[in-house]
């Protein structure tokens, strides 16, 4: 007798493994997991009544889009800059990442990034002001 029986058995086993893989991939692994917590929450634009001191007299860059939208064009960029500054200043273990950062745009030119402190007796908030036009840090405070 030739090895046709073993060839047939190998084909059947391979097909059974393939079908089991398809079933597992389709039904068991398709259960959606919890989405990761949001890193930041954009709270919108507010008007404080204190417009910018004056427009920038100089061009920031030779790249035209930076001059149109600013060096920090959106809340995601403001979050990344604010997070990097907080880590460099206070350390990563002092920031509560279970709470999302609060980000606002004030008067159309100043991003305010607000983060909560971790493991303190009192509830502190770290706040950083970032100028949208050129990316400079305007203020950095700790509030109770």
For the chain, what are the domain ranges?
40-52+64-143
Query: How do residues 42-59 score in pLDDT, each as one tens digit?
Result: 998 988 887 666 666 665
The 8-class DSSP code of residue 3 comes to T
pTM flag (> 0.75) = no
DSSP, residue by residue, 61-110: -SSHHHHHH-SS-SHHHHHHHHHHHHHHHH-GGGB-TTSPEEEEEETTTE
What is residue 1's predicted lDDT score, i.e. its pLDDT? 46
What is residue 82's predicted lDDT score, i.e. its pLDDT? 95
Q: Say if residues 133 and 71 touch (Cβ distance below 8 Å).
A: yes
Please state whether 120 falls in left (phi above 0), alpha (psi between -120 and 50) or beta.
beta
């Amino acid at each position: 007798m030739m090895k046709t029986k073993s060839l047939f058995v190998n084909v059947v086993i391979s097909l059974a493994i393939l079908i089991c893989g398809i079933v597992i991939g389709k039904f068991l692994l398709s259960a959606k997991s919890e989405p990761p917590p949001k890193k930041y929450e954009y709270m919108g634009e507010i008007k404080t009544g204190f417009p910018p001191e004056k427009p920038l007299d100089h061009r920031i860059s030779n790249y035209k889009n930076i001059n149109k939208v600013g060096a920090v064009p959106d809340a995601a960029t403001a979050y990344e800059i604010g997070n990097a500054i907080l880590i460099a200043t206070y350390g990563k273990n002092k920031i509560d990442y279970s709470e999302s950062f609060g980000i606002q745009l004030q008067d159309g030119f100043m991003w305010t990034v607000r983060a909560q402190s971790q493991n303190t007796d009192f509830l502190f908030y770290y706040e950083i002001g970032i100028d949208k036009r050129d990316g400079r840090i305007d203020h950095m405070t700790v509030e109770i």
